Amino acid sequence: MEDLPDELLADILRRVPPRSLAVCRSVCKHWCAAVDTHELLLAVAHRVPCALHGIFVNYVNVRRSGFFSRITAGTTSQPSIDARWFASFPGQLTRHRSVLDHCNGLLLYENKQVHVCNPVTRRRATLPAPPRAQTPYSHLPYYRHRMYLMFDPTMSLHYHVLFFPDAPDRPKPPYFQPAGVSQSMRANHEHECNTLGVMEWPPYVYPLQVFSSKTGRWEEKQFVRQGDAAVTVSDVWSDGSSPISCQDGLRRHAVYWRASFYVYCDTGFIMRLSLEDRIYLAIKTPRQDITGCKRHLKTYEYLGKSKHGVYFTAFHGYQLQVWVLRDTLESCRTPEWELKHQVDLEPKLKLHYNRHFRREKYEKCWILDSCDEESEDSGHYAWDSSDDSVIDVEGGINMDYKDYYFAVDLLGYHPYKEIAFMGNRFQGFAYYLDNSKLQYLGSPYPAYLTKHDRRLLPMLESFIYTPCMDDLLPVQNDA
């Protein structure tokens, strides 16, 4: 390869995916010069996902998703996103029109049918229904939330959609007979439950339905487990996170990081899959310290991605704990969780709530572009962490504030900076892990809903969105 003319070497390297091309640049000075001289990385820069552009939000009993993003001037270089574009998708109009997943610029979207789309290029593809084992929950729209999208434009413009199976259902008890249920029927049912309940979950060989845009069809792929099983089938039954208990289950996102796919499964474990090697690993979630926390409050857990890789977050009331997954040196060992950040957000949040109820004005720097109506706010603001919307408790902690409590959800993490986006039924915030600064952003909820509606209808899911300027999706004529 060293004896190849520069033009021929550049022509070879030009066919290499962006991520591998960046690695090739560090092989030797000759290759580095070939990449730089011919501006090969610049030529594929459009395939690298852009910076954070906003957050797609799903709501309970609200027909369509909203797009919560920073307010920018009309001259911004960021691509324009119109959430109302999804209304043009084919499919039966139902209440369940929402974003199912996001990965590096592509969205998985449902409108009775399931689509993969790119809001920037305005191209989309409709997926065929996946082959699946019939369960008592197959007819429910929330059942499709077991689908996840995998897309890495720095390696290939083709994408995959993963469809995760359910654990076996608990055997139904014997039907009531006029003469009563016999002792033998009860014994047989109990034996069947015990036999099935002690089975490992996920099993050693885990079947997964995978759709490939390259082949255009679903295929069953077998993944072999490394390490120990996470739980048993009986643990899944007792967890209570069935496909119909959607408000907890749907918040558990998936993460694509360094050619591995991480998904938060029922009963509190993370599954890491390698599509190329056909292997998976079950990773237990970190143990949480709730000492001093209010026991009656429920803990909400989230999986996300940010500057240092895979993040696991737990909210217990206003108590926030953040862990980062660290790979061990030995390849056979399970990665370990490292506690990254722990804080009580109550003083900052309560100070904001009291200012809010005293009708003090905050300049919002983010706005919601809902699918159903335009926002009335036409101002232009920059997202500046030094503005007056930063909430500082110094000098105000001894205020005589009332004891307001509004549950806080994690909306997601900034993909390149350690900033956690949070929100509830009324306000959205950015929390900086490095300096513990809390910044008010605006309301992530549709303005046309009354305050009464917001109390009843919490946010259901949220997806950090980073645009990608290229794809292989078919061009659609929606005119």
- The domains located in the chain, with CATH, are 6-43 (no CATH), 45-166+198-465 (2.130.10)
pLDDT-derived band at 477 (thresholds 50, 70, 90) equals low
Residue pLDDT, tens place only, 368-403: 874 444 343 433 344 544 444 555 544 444 444 455
Tokens 């009563």 -> residue: 180
Type of residue numbered 131: P
Find residue 342's DSSP bridge partners. Answer: 321
Percentage with pLDDT > 70 across the chain: 69
Per-residue burial over 385-421, b if 16 or more Cβ lie within 10 Å, else e, is eeeebbbebeeeeeeebeeeeeebbbbbbbbeebbbb
Q: Are 133 and 142 in contact (CB under 8 A)?
A: no
Dihedral (Cα; 275, 278, 279, 285), 10-degree rounding: 30
Q: How far apart are CA 357 and CA 345, in angstroms?
A: 18
Question: What pLDDT is attached to residue 411?
Answer: 92
- Region 237-247: what's the mean pLDDT? 54
Residue pLDDT, tens place only, 425-445: 678 899 999 999 999 898 887
Q: How far apart are CA 363 and CA 110, in angstroms?
A: 34
Classify the C-alpha dihedral 212-213-214-215 as positive or negative. Answer: positive
Task: Say whether pLDDT at 412 is over 70.
Answer: yes
pLDDT-derived band at 415 (thresholds 50, 70, 90) equals very high
